[in-house]
Amino acid sequence: MTATNRDTDKGTRSASLPDGLEALRTAILTRHSFLITSHARPDGDSIGSQLAMAFALDALGKQVRIVNADPAPEHYQDFPGMDRIEIAPRVERPGIDAVIVMECSDLSRTGVSGLESQFILNIDHHAGNHMYGAVNWHDETAAACGEMVFELIEALGVELTPEIATHIYLAILTDTGSFHHSNITPRTFEICRRCVEAGVSPAVMARRVFDSNSFGKLKLIGALLDDMELADEGRLAVLRMDDQMLAATGSTHNDTEGLINLPLTAREIQAVVFFKVTETGDVRVSMRSKYDVDVRCVASEFGGGGHKNAAGFTVAGPLLAVRDAIVSRIVGAIAEGLQSRP
C-alpha cells in the first residue's frame, strides 16, 4: 500500500495493518511510559530507529527513556536527541509500562540487563528473531528497522517532523550500505522520498555519515588493507584487527564501522570476513557478501545471525584456532552463491 493510499484511508487504516503492527499500535496507545533500547555497539539503524521512535512518543505525550549498553560512534553524536541516550549495562527497577526493543533477535543482544520481566515490544527485521516479546513485530522484508519504525509512526498518526525524518533516513542510509544491499524495495525509496519531502538533505546526510572520518580512521584503513589476505583465489578478503593496530594508528573500536565494506569495492571479491580480536581474547567476526553469497548461514552455524549479505557472531579465541574453520565455511558459501548467479 502506498503512503498516499494510507493518507486517504485514515479512518480505516488500522483495519489493514499487519497483525504485529496493529498489536504494537494498540500496546503503545494504551500505555504511558516507555524505555527504548537496541543492540550493543549500536549502528545507524539502531540509533535512527530508537531516536525516531522517541520523538514520535514525545509527540504522543508519552514518557520516554533510551538506554543502550554502548555509546554510538562519534559521527552520530551531532544528530538530534543523541544526548537523550543513557549508557548503562543494567537498568534497576525500570518502573515503566513497556520496553521497546529494536533490532535484536533476542533480548541478550541489547547487552542491557534488568529488562527481562518487563512488558516487551519486539521490533526487528533480522531473520531468526526469537519472538521474545509480549508483542512481536518481525518483518524480514524491511531493509532497515527504520522502515518499520516509519510505518509504526504513520500508524500512530504522528507527523513526520524533520527530526523524525532525519533518523528514519539515517537508519535506511546506513543499513542498506548506502543503497547497496539486496533488501532494498520500492517501499525503501518511498519512505526516503517522504523523508526528503520532510526536510532531509541526502547530500548533507551522506557527508555527515560517510565523510566524517577521523585521521586515525584513515590510518587504520591503510593498516587494515596493508594486512589484508586473500583466499579462495581472490574471491574472499580476510581482514584482521586487534588493540595493537588501533593503538598504532591512533584509532578506536568505533572507527572500524563500515571498513568491512572496503574490499567489496574490488570486482573479484565476493565476500569479506573481518576478525576483530577484543581485549578479552574473544573474536568478533563480521561478514559481508555480494549477491547470493549467504553469510547469514555461516553466522548461524557459529551461533550468530544477521542478513544474507551482512552477518556476524562472536567466538572464543585465539584467532588462529578458529580462523581456518570460519574461512573454509565462507569459501563454501561463496561456491554455493556463485552457482545460483545468473
Q: Is 286 in the site for ligand AMP (CB under 6 A)?
A: yes
Residue 303's CB is within 10 A of a number of other CB atoms, namely 9
Least distance in angstroms from the C-beta of 311 to ligand AMP = 4
Q: Give yes or no for residue 129 binding ligand AMP (CB under 6 A).
A: no
Closer to ligand AMP by Cβ: residue 102 or 165: 102
* Residue 45 interaction partner, one of ligand AMP, Mn ion, none, beta carbon < 5-8 Å per kind: Mn ion
CB of 327 to ligand AMP, least distance (A): 16
- Bridge partners (DSSP) of residue 101 are 37, 122
Asked whether position 176 contacts ligand AMP by CB under 6 A, the answer is: no
Q: Which does 304 bind (CB under 5 to 8 A by kind): Mn ion, ligand AMP, none?
A: ligand AMP
- Nearest by Cα to 121 from 92, 149, 82, 140: 149
- Of 312, 315, 323, 334, the one binding ligand AMP (CB under 6 A) is 312
Is residue 111 close enough to count as binding ligand AMP by CB under 6 A?
A: no
Among 149, 209, 313, 326, binds ligand AMP (CB under 6 A): 313
Pairing of strands 33-37, 63-68: parallel
The residue of the chain with the least Cβ separation from ligand AMP equals 306
The window from 53-61, 139-147, 188-196, 304-312 that contacts ligand AMP (CB under 6 A) reads 304-312
Select the binding partner of residue 108 from ligand AMP, Mn ion, none (C-beta < 5 to 8 A, by kind). Answer: none
CA distance 14 to 43: 31
Residue carrying the nine cell digits 563454501: 332
Q: Does 239 bind ligand AMP (CB under 6 A)?
A: no
> Based on CB atoms, which residue is closest to Mn ion, 119 or 132?
132
Q: List the one residue from 44, 73, 263, 306 that touches ligand AMP (CB under 6 A).
A: 306
Among positions 194-233, residues that touch ligand AMP (CB under 6 A) are none
Give the footprint of ligand AMP on this chain (CB under 6 A).
Answer: 105, 126, 286, 304-307, 310-314
